[in-house]
Every structure is written in structure tokens, then in C-alpha cells.
Chains A and B, each alone.
Chain A
């Protein structure tokens, strides 16, 4: 444990600072969590209670979850979202780290141009790319396929940027030493660099997973068969011409969110462990 705050012990007794700290964290945490709790509360409300303005349900019911599961192929959508998000995340984690590593740790002509070039792809709103992507997908028979949903995101400029920033923190001497030990160039990336940037990699995985888990407009366009839809597309089926069935949307959103949250909670322990193992300290 290396807490920079330890010096503060000179000024205030430790329990005071800690109490203050937890109070602030708790207040902030409550502010952060209220809308989420409200989402859960709404998912437990009968349809007639949704517009009453009460925070907690008067007659809580799990019926909304049942309705969502009965009315639409929610399990299938879940599986689709999972497949798409997991595969995309793995692809992004690998390729973006590799590109980030190369851009941070190699010298070659065109390096900066390639970096700006990749970064610039972030600067065009995807809304504008939908038509060209859809024409391409239609010609290549990618409509209603997992690859069709995934392909725009299997590498991300965001991840390249993130990984480049973190790869820059790896001491070049470390890599040179490994080279002398006969480690191949790919080995440098895979066996030396990757373990060192694990916290960042974990963060990238979470963000990529979430981004794909919540992706909406493209999956709407590229999927036509009901059983190829993803969760966010599916949830929009509860919002229609005569208004939205918020109790059902919230029930679906809760079912979509809670497992991700659990995965995150498990995942974050890994990050902490990973950090303890990094060679950065030495």
C-alpha cells in the first residue's frame, strides 16, 4: 500500500480524514446512484403507477420482467448482444494494443501521420457512415449477420489512442534488455508490454464492451430478422407511436445492466491485482 495521503497524518488524525473522505464519497455515491435506483423502482411499478410521480412503487411487482420475457425473444437478444460485445472487445483489445505499442515504441517514417490518420476516424459521426456501411453490407450479404453488426467496431481509434498513451509509459530500456535476451518483436509486445499495461487494457475492455453492449443506431439498420436484434434495439420496441412503456423499458434496461455491473465488479478486482503485479514499480 502506497498511499500519497499518508503525509496528511501530520496535519490531521487519520480517522478524521478518513471519516471526512467517506462522508464525501458517500454523498457523491448517493447522487450517482439515485437515478439507477429510480430505474429499478420504475421496473417494479405496475403500468398505471408510472406517471404518478412517486419514487418507490406502491404495489411493487415483478410482472414487467415477465412481460418483457414473454413478449419478445429477450434471451436471444441477450445472447446476440453478448456475442457481439465479447468478440468486438477481444478484437479491439488485441489490435488496438498492438497499434498503440507500435506507435509508442517504434520509430519509422509516417508514424505521426498514421497516428493522426487513425485518430481522425474518430472525428466523423457514425451517423454519416451508416449509408455507405449499409450499401457495403448489402452487397456483401452481411445484413442479419453477427459480423455485419460488429464490423464497424472491431478496431477503434479510441483504443489505439488510449493504449498508445499507456504504452509510452513503458521504459524503452526494458524492451532493449528483452531484445538482448532474444525476445522476438511480437514477444516484446505480447510478453513484455501487454502485462505492463493491464490496467489500461482492462479499462479499454470495459469501455469497448459497454460501447458495443449499448450500440443502437447501426444494429437497428443492419438487422432485419427479429432473432438477430441486440438488446438496445429490442428495448426500443417498447417505445412506440402512443408513447413509451417505461416500466417495460426500465425492466429490460435493468436486466441488461445488472449482469454487466456484476461483471465489472468482478473485473475491477482483477485490475487491482494486475496493478500489483505490474513491473512499473521497478
Chain B
């Protein structure tokens, strides 16, 4: 009892101390001070011209903060890049902070109303409209990042980050999709792994050959359709275009999935994989990648970022082939994580100047050349794409092949958009709802999201 008493008293004292004394404050205060102090000292200097950054930069040390989600190879490479950058710019210190992938958006969102956050931030392109709208991101200074130059030098999909003629973010790398396939299952089914399918028809036929059913129960799916992973993107940007349509109106105001030519046919094809060709079952594996790794699925759609996982976890021979062609066209879904400068950083000229320098460094051709081999994502600059070391890499080449026809989707609420398609597919497969009706329902839900978004602009 005595011990308990003592413990309780110690605890109480600690709690009270933590409550009343501003112990945390002193450690925080120095970090907070520089933000305001330099601004004050620089204010006079800023008056005469608009070039305080150049004059201020060499004079004093600037610390900027960079946030990204945790991805081991990205974090490690970024540590290395930061060291390089700091060597080139001795007066700038960059502090990298990473957050768990699944909670990254929560964390960034929670920091917005609190007025907190880093100076340079890595965001998924699909979130940009909301963060730009909120005033969280500052437009990239036109002098440092001229729009015309970006459009000349970078792959076209980065233009989705352009709002009202201004760029708010620029990526180091982009990604698109391809088909990951199990070469062992391919050979076992009497197919030639060196000669993978070129069209979606051939893909379905190959999948049928590899599908295994035992006692009326599917044990291996030829192609695991999983809309929760990449196959919602497969439908929106790849199949709709492959069947001759476009998923959204030019101004991103209308969802055209059920009105564009080929929209229904593309959807029907996706449904047929489960119902007609019977190459997939929702019970196979827990999700696409798990099924593929467990050799319960011979093929799946995934991105180049999955190459690292495949290398460390696959127990079989595997390969990647490019996105097949549809009856009307070949298309791919492109996406990227992109770096932006926050309005918080933009308020302080010294931080803005340092952030601009860091961003220029991150989007330079030299960094991209290091990025692609380390991460598996494709370089965002067209010139680096020409690099023969990438074009000849058997695992990267299938992705590069369709990069020129890769489209990024304009999302207003990525999760809700995806959920609508997932539920539409499930309602067809699990509840026998008419495919067209299910798609119409999904369009209705997503159109409402878009209407609400544009109404609030």
C-alpha cells in the first residue's frame, strides 16, 4: 500500500507539473521564434525591392520542414538527397518528417484548421483540388517555375495540378499501371510467358486458361479483379478510353461513365471477367496483391511502385507486361505524389526562397535519375524518360511504353469516388444487380460529389 501511495503521489505531482508548468513550451519556443523573428528583421529589407530572398539567403541560416508519408525507400533516398542539397546550400537545413501512409491524409487535414504544417509538403495529386481550395498551398512562383517551361519539360499528366493558370505543385516522379503476371502459372497453363497478351480480349482468354477450379471452387484466379486496389482506375481511365470514351467532361464537371461511347461496354467487360469468363472471384485471396503473392491469382493490375514488394515477397518467377489495347485505343492511368509549398512558408521570404530552391532541386533531372532506380517510379521530366538505362530495364519498360497515353483522373473525393465503383461492382457480383443500373447508380453518387464541389467554388 505504501508503495502504491508513493507512486500515486509521484504520478500526481507529474501530472500537475505537466499541467501547470510550461515545461513543453521552452523546447518549442526556440523552434517557433525563428519563424517570426526573421520576418520582422527582413521587413525593412523587403520594402525597396521584391528580391529579399536573394540577399537574405546567404546571410542567415534557414530551416525548412518537409513532410511526406513513410515509404522506406522514399524516406531513405530523401535523407540522402537532403544531405546533398544541404551540401550545395550550406545555409539551408531541411528537416524531414514522415507519417504512416494510411493516416497521412488525416494528419495533414488535421493540421489545416490548426494552422500547422511544414514548408514543403508531398501530397497525392488527387487531393490537390481540396488543398488548393483551402488556401493551404501557395502557387509556385511563376519566375522560378514558368508554366510554359513545365508544360514543355514535364509529362503531360502534371498539368492536372494547374488551377486558374497557376501551378501549385510539381512531382519528382509519376507512375502508371501494367499487368503483373506469374510466369510459372503462365508456363503451366501452356502459354508462352515471352509473348504476353496485347489486347484485353487476349488477356481474358489467357486468364481463362490459367484459372483453376477444384470441386466447383475456384482456387486460382486467372486475373483477380479488385476494384479496391487499382481496378477502379482500370475502369475509369483505361477501359473507358480503350473502348472509345472519355471518363469526364473537359471541364471536370460531368461524369460521363454511362453516357460516353463505350462506357457501358467497358463496364460490361470488367463485370464479364467475373460472371462470363469466370476468371475472378471476390473470395480469392483477401485482395488483388495478396492473392497474387499467394499464387492464388496469375495476374493483377498494379503500379511500378509495387516492383519492390514483388521482388522481396514473390516466391515464383514473375514479369510485367504493358497495359493491353482495347478495341478503340490504348490508354493508361497515371498518378503521382507531388511537392507543394505551403502558404505558411510563403509568408516568410527566407523560407519561401529556401523552399523554392529545395523544390527546384527535387524536380531536377539529376534527382530523377536517382529516384527511378531507387523507388521504381518513373521520372516526371520527359528528357529523363529517354534515358536508355530505364527504357531497357525489363521491369520498367512495360510502364514507360504507355506513359504518353497515361491520364490522371481529376478527383474531388478520391475515397468516395472509388467506393462508388467498388459498391457498383459488388452489387452486380454479389447481389445480381443489372450492370447498367449499378453503373448508373455509381455515376449518380459521384456526380453529386462533383456538383457539390463545384457549387462551393
Contact, chains A and B (beta carbon distance below 8 A): yes
Give me the interface of A with B, judged by CB distance under 8 Å.
Answer: 47-53, 71, 87, 90-91, 93-94, 130-131, 134-135, 137-139, 141-148, 150, 154, 190, 195, 217, 220-221, 224-226, 233, 236-237, 239-243
Complex: chain A residue closest to B100, CB-CB: A236
Give me the interface of B with A, judged by CB distance under 8 Å.
Answer: 1, 5, 7-8, 10-12, 14-15, 18-19, 22-25, 27-29, 32, 69-72, 97-103, 106-107, 110-111, 113-116, 289-290, 293-294, 305-306, 308-309, 312-315
In contact, A51 and B99 (Cβ under 8 angstroms): no
8 Å CB contact of B7 from A47, A90, A139: A90
In contact, B309 and A220 (Cβ under 8 angstroms): no
In contact, A154 and B15 (Cβ under 8 angstroms): yes
Most buried by A among B115, B308, B309: B309
* Residues in chain A near residue B72, CB distance under 8 A: 71, 240
In contact, A243 and B309 (Cβ under 8 angstroms): yes
In contact, A237 and B24 (Cβ under 8 angstroms): no
Docked Cα-Cα span, A94 to B306, in Å, equals 50
In contact, B100 and A220 (Cβ under 8 angstroms): yes
Docked Cα-Cα span, A53 to B291, in Å, equals 11
* Residues in chain A near residue B306, CB distance under 8 A: 242
8 Å CB contact of B106 from A53, A94, A138, A221: A221
In contact, B115 and A138 (Cβ under 8 angstroms): yes
* Minimum CB–CB distance for B298 against chain A, Å: 15
In contact, A91 and B15 (Cβ under 8 angstroms): yes
* Minimum CB–CB distance for A195 against chain B, Å: 6
In contact, A87 and B70 (Cβ under 8 angstroms): no
17 residue pairs of the A-B complex, CB under 8 angstroms, read: A48-B314, A51-B293, A87-B11, A87-B15, A91-B15, A134-B110, A134-B113, A138-B114, A144-B28, A147-B23, A148-B24, A150-B18, A220-B107, A236-B102, A237-B98, A237-B100, A239-B100
* Residues in chain A near residue B315, CB distance under 8 A: 48-49, 52
Docked Cα-Cα span, A220 to B18, in Å, equals 20
Most buried by B among A148, A217, A237, A239: A237
Docked Cα-Cα span, A48 to B14, in Å, equals 47
Given A51-B294, A243-B290, A135:B71 Cβ within 8 A: no
**Nearest 9 interchain pairs by C-beta:** A90-B11, A236-B100, A145-B24, A147-B18, A141-B28, A138-B114, A242-B309, A51-B294, A51-B293
Complex: chain A residue closest to B21, CB-CB: A147
In contact, A146 and B18 (Cβ under 8 angstroms): yes
Given A142-B24, A221-B110, A224-B97, A241:B71 Cβ within 8 A: yes
In contact, B1 and A90 (Cβ under 8 angstroms): no
* Residues in chain B near residue A71, CB distance under 8 A: 72
In contact, B101 and A221 (Cβ under 8 angstroms): no
Docked Cα-Cα span, A183 to B100, in Å, equals 53
Docked Cα-Cα span, A221 to B100, in Å, equals 10
Docked Cα-Cα span, A143 to B70, in Å, equals 19
* Residues in chain B near residue A217, CB distance under 8 A: 103, 106
Q: A221-B107, A240-B70 are in contact. List 4 more A-B contacts (CB 8 A).
A: A94-B11, A138-B116, A242-B305, A243-B290
* Residues in chain B near residue A243, CB distance under 8 A: 289-290, 309
In contact, A48 and B313 (Cβ under 8 angstroms): yes
8 Å CB contact of A241 from B7, B69, B99: B69
In contact, B8 and A90 (Cβ under 8 angstroms): yes
* Residues in chain B near residue A145, CB distance under 8 A: 23-24, 27
* Minimum CB–CB distance for B381 against chain A, Å: 23
Docked Cα-Cα span, A242 to B29, in Å, equals 38
Docked Cα-Cα span, A130 to B110, in Å, equals 8
In contact, B110 and A47 (Cβ under 8 angstroms): no
8 Å CB contact of B313 from A47, A130, A141, A233: A47
8 Å CB contact of A226 from B98, B113, B308: B98
Docked Cα-Cα span, A139 to B113, in Å, equals 11
* Minimum CB–CB distance for A200 against chain B, Å: 14
8 Å CB contact of B24 from A134, A139, A147, A240: A147
* Residues in chain B near residue A233, CB distance under 8 A: 100
* Residues in chain A near residue B98, CB distance under 8 A: 226, 237
Docked Cα-Cα span, A241 to B97, in Å, equals 17
Most buried by B among A51, A52, A145, A195: A51
Docked Cα-Cα span, A53 to B19, in Å, equals 50
Complex: chain A residue closest to B95, CB-CB: A225
Most buried by A among B15, B290, B314: B15
8 Å CB contact of B312 from A47, A130, A138, A141: A47
Docked Cα-Cα span, A148 to B101, in Å, equals 22
* Residues in chain A near residue B1, CB distance under 8 A: 195
* Minimum CB–CB distance for B377 against chain A, Å: 11
Docked Cα-Cα span, A47 to B293, in Å, equals 11
In contact, A220 and B99 (Cβ under 8 angstroms): yes
In contact, B24 and A93 (Cβ under 8 angstroms): no
In contact, A131 and B312 (Cβ under 8 angstroms): no
Docked Cα-Cα span, A130 to B71, in Å, equals 25
* Residues in chain B near residue A195, CB distance under 8 A: 1
In contact, B116 and A143 (Cβ under 8 angstroms): yes
* Residues in chain A near residue B103, CB distance under 8 A: 217, 220-221, 236
In contact, A52 and B110 (Cβ under 8 angstroms): no
* Minimum CB–CB distance for A178 against chain B, Å: 16
* Residues in chain A near residue B106, CB distance under 8 A: 217, 220-221
Given A53-B294, A220-B106, A241:B305 Cβ within 8 A: yes
* Residues in chain A near residue B24, CB distance under 8 A: 141-142, 145, 147-148
* Minimum CB–CB distance for B219 against chain A, Å: 12
In contact, A94 and B12 (Cβ under 8 angstroms): yes
In contact, A91 and B11 (Cβ under 8 angstroms): yes
* Minimum CB–CB distance for A114 against chain B, Å: 21
* Residues in chain A near residue B111, CB distance under 8 A: 134
* Residues in chain A near residue B99, CB distance under 8 A: 220
In contact, A51 and B8 (Cβ under 8 angstroms): no
Complex: chain B residue closest to A243, CB-CB: B289
* Minimum CB–CB distance for B408 against chain A, Å: 17
* Residues in chain B near residue A148, CB distance under 8 A: 24
Docked Cα-Cα span, A90 to B14, in Å, equals 10
* Residues in chain A near residue B309, CB distance under 8 A: 242-243
* Minimum CB–CB distance for B118 against chain A, Å: 9
* Minimum CB–CB distance for A37 against chain B, Å: 20
Complex: chain B residue closest to A71, CB-CB: B72
In contact, B113 and A131 (Cβ under 8 angstroms): yes
In contact, A131 and B8 (Cβ under 8 angstroms): no
In contact, B289 and A141 (Cβ under 8 angstroms): no
In contact, A239 and B102 (Cβ under 8 angstroms): yes
* Minimum CB–CB distance for B18 against chain A, Å: 4
Docked Cα-Cα span, A242 to B293, in Å, equals 12
* Residues in chain A near residue B113, CB distance under 8 A: 131, 134-135
